[in-house]
Amino acid sequence: MLSYNDSLSVLSPGTPVLHKYKAYGVSALRTLPQLQRLTEEQIFEMEVVAQVFPFKVNNYVVEELINWDNVPNDPMFVLTFPQRDMLKPADFDRMAAAIKRAAPRAEIQALANEIRLELNPHPAGQLEHNIPELHGEKLEGVQHKYRETILFFPSQGQTCHAYCSFCFRWPQFVGMGDLKFATREAARLVDYLRENPQITDVLITGGDPLIMKSETFGAYIRTLIEADLPHFQTIRIGSKALSYWPYRFIADDDAPELLDVFREAVEAGKHVSIMAHFNHPAELETEAVRRAVAAIRSTGAEIRSQSPILRHINDTASAWADMWREQVRMGIIPYYMFVVRDTGAQHYFGVPLARAWRIYTKALRKVSGLARTARGPSMSATPGKIHVLGVTEVAGEKVFALQFLQGRDPDWCNRPFFAKYDEEAVWIDDLKPAFGEESFFFEE
Ligand SMILES: *Cc1c(COP(=O)(O)O)cnc(C)c1O
Ligand code: SF4
């Protein structure tokens, strides 16, 4: 293993590093040699949970991120392999029974869907509320919730290099389109941007848009750049590739073309920001990720990082302080700490707001100002991104001080408000207004 400085000196973006992507699905639970150390019962439990939560892991995660000596408690293992307690005991038992009696596929699928529906699959009204219209027609694949920024879900980027077990998603794989399709889809986005000069940022997300071939990804970006819209400043790319497949930037056949796309956008005067998703310090330690970060930065693109705070994975101050410190050292800007949302396995991964704030605060105190740029803990809720500023006492009442980082109504931003303290609350829905008030100001 190279030290950080060694890896910088060997770094040149085009250097070939042979590493072929290999993904494993649920059948890997029976075939991966690394899993042989688990008991039959543990494997069976993972199979049961995998019926409900889609499961996919790749050779980089298995070979370079998971510390197998530490399994089953290793955070990278918990993050990517299904865990028994992700299902409520009754649901687990029902699914386990169905599998044991070899129930027909259709029955297992129906049961899986029934369990998923109990788990609030479309939180925060994202799907229904935020789809904009263009000339009276819904603009599918776009969400416009906050004035300056739209989210764009290219239809060819709706899957991931590996699935995070906290992400509640069942495969929304859309049939692979072609380049023309990508360009057409991006052209509709351009029409919408043209009519909405208040938008400065396009956040391309998924799934993971960097799952796309560089040529396809480039077709989207080039269509956006060529439109030459002066108000459109920033291209953000939400991706977990740096954590789950850093070879995307340094070893894939079309890695150099991907870096070229970033470079072109930068040269066209756009701010390009990779919104990386690092959940644990281990994801920052491999030679591959260090080289990938340096390769991206050599194009003029920036990298920002965000992650939810997750029980079993990163619910300690030292995990966050280590991540932020290491990120700053690599030239990554810490951006958000999220609270895990009210969907899927929140009961397994969720950290109460009060505890998340204490961890955030303790981590903040361990690092220098440059590493204190991650805002949080923040909830992406229906009314907006709600930031837990802290716990304090006002007129003898213990309260949470909160504020909007983003609001459905931009005037809500940066206006402190208060909720009654509740040690157990995990989400805004659990909170009551402080001082005996009936409702929060944004509910009126
Ligand atoms: C977080 C988020 C954004 C981006 O918000 P910033 O504060 O600009 O980072 C945009 N749209 C949605 C729906 C979001 O959740
Ligand atoms: S990379 Fe993102 S979208 Fe994909 S499984 Fe993980 S959290 Fe979900």
Tokens found for residue 336: 């958000």
Report if residue 292 sits inside a domain: no
- pTM confidence score: 0.91
Of 142, 144, 149, the one to substitute when testing ligand 1's pocket (max ligand atoms within 8 A of C-beta) is 149
Residue with CA closest to ligand 1 atom 10: 149
Report if residue 239 sits inside a domain: no
Predicted pLDDT at 444: 79
Among 117, 142, 175, identify where a domain stops. Answer: 117
Report if residue 18 sits inside a domain: yes
Sign for the pseudo-dihedral over CA of 72, 76, 78, 82? negative
- Across the range 137-158, mean pLDDT stands at 89
Distance between CA atoms of residues 356 and 350, nearest Å: 9
Burial of 9 (0-12, 13-18, 19+ CB in 10 A): exposed
Ligand nearest to the CA of 151: 1
| Average pLDDT in the chain | 90
Alpha carbon of 146 to ligand 1 centroid (Å): 7
Report if residue 441 sits inside a domain: yes
| 406 CB within 6 A, ligand 1 | yes
**Number of domains present in the structure of the chain:** 2
**Binding pocket residue ranges, ligand 2, CB within 6 Å:** 160, 163-164, 167, 169, 206-208, 240, 277
Q: Which residues contact 397 (CB under 8 A, 6 or more apart)?
A: 420, 421, 434, 435
Of 170, 240, 277, the one to substitute when testing ligand 2's pocket (max ligand atoms within 8 A of C-beta) is 240
Burial of 106 (0-12, 13-18, 19+ CB in 10 A): exposed
Report if residue 190 sits inside a domain: no
Burial of 323 (0-12, 13-18, 19+ CB in 10 A): buried
| 146 CB within 6 A, ligand 1 | yes
- Across the range 315-324, mean pLDDT stands at 98
Predicted confidence band of residue 271 (pLDDT cuts 50, 70, 90)? very high
Distance between CA atoms of residues 85 and 270, nearest Å: 44
Report if residue 337 sits inside a domain: yes
Distance between CA atoms of residues 345 and 340, nearest Å: 9
Ligand nearest to the CA of 277: 2
361: containing domain: 308-444
Residue with CA closest to ligand 2 atom 1: 240
Among 55, 90, 117, identify where a domain stops. Answer: 117
Report if residue 100 sits inside a domain: yes
Among 117, 143, 171, identify where a domain stops. Answer: 117
Q: Say how many C-beta atoms besides its own lie within 10 A of residue 439's C-beta.
A: 9
- pLDDT of 1 over the 50 cut: no
Report if residue 341 sits inside a domain: yes
Radius of gyration of the chain (CA): 22
Ramachandran region, residue 105 (left: φ > 0; alpha: ψ -120 to 50; beta: rest): alpha
